[in-house]
Amino acid sequence: MEDFAIRIENLYVGISGMNIIENISLQFPKGKITVLIGINGSGKSTLLKAISKILPIKKGNIYLNGKATHEMSFRELAKKLAMLPQTYDSQLSMTVRELVEQGRFPHSGALKMLRKQDHIAIEYALELTNLSTFQNRQLDELSGGERQRAWLALSLAQASDILLLDEPTTFLDVRHQLDLLNLIKQLNHNENKTIVMVLHDINQALNYADHIIILKDRGIYAQGNPHKVITEQMLMDVYKVKARIIEDPLSGHSVCIPYQSVGHTI
């Protein structure tokens, strides 16, 4: 049995004839939180889409728990892996519960009807995301934070061991960002789920990641322990910013303080 939930070998992924990812090999530790960081366009979302088979790969292999994804049907893949995309249709005409029910389709029987175990999984996902009292509300009646939790509940209802999250804190205020990240950490700790997520906030990456992967120039700049790979030199090399990384005496966490950009990016 592999110690890695996801293993990638010599991966190439392109869009519109242009390579976004070139010849990368990676391992994602099982039962840990891995965070992908890097500038816009560095391939973070592309990598998640390739793992979840939303995007085809040009070359290389991706393995989930030792089995190549190209050998899996989408139904089999959905039992092992759930994906929360960066964007989704916020105008869907359905209730929260109806949305969350979609997560059970990979497990549905021949008649495609929800069974007892499906209802148990749905109730559990609603409870975990604090949406039980909202389950009969229409999606377009929810706030941004509530809607984001609803889509997370759909992913949780799949009951897969691996959860991919593409910028889950986008469009959320600070409080709801922290609430969502704490829920993700709880899922990792209590459910032993392997979490892979894209974040833009370096301090959130420092605080919530067990493992960091930094993408740059269609490849990997560095990977490893957050406190070893997130350095002042990395921030200059990857983000073109001068920054200080200090230890906060109250929380004991490392804190990144950018103070100057280098060059013109706009």
pLDDT per residue over 69-115, tens digit each? 999 999 899 999 999 987 666 667 899 999 999 999 888 765 567 88
Structural domain contains residue 156: yes
Give the total number of structural domains in the chain. 1
Low-confidence winner among 22-31, 40-49, 52-61, 113-122 (lowest mean pLDDT): 113-122
Residue 134 lies in a domain: yes
pLDDT band at 170 (very low <50, low <70, confident <90, very high): confident
The reply to whether 148 falls in a domain is yes
pLDDT, tens only, 222-253: 999 999 999 999 999 999 999 999 998 888 88
In a domain, 229, yes or no: no
Residue 244 within any structural domain of the chain:
no
Please give the share of the chain, as a percent, with pLDDT higher than 90: 72
pLDDT in tens, 7-27: 999 999 998 888 999 999 999
In a domain, 135, yes or no: yes
> What would the DSSP string read from start to end of 79-117?
HHEEEE-S---TT--SBHHHHHHGGGGGG--TT----HH
Is the residue at 228 inside a domain?
Answer: no
Q: What is the pLDDT of residue 61?
A: 96
Q: Which residues pair with 215 in a beta bridge?
A: 220
Q: Let me know if residue 41 belongs to a domain.
A: no
Containing structural domain, residue 122 = 92-160
The SS3 of residue 71 is helix
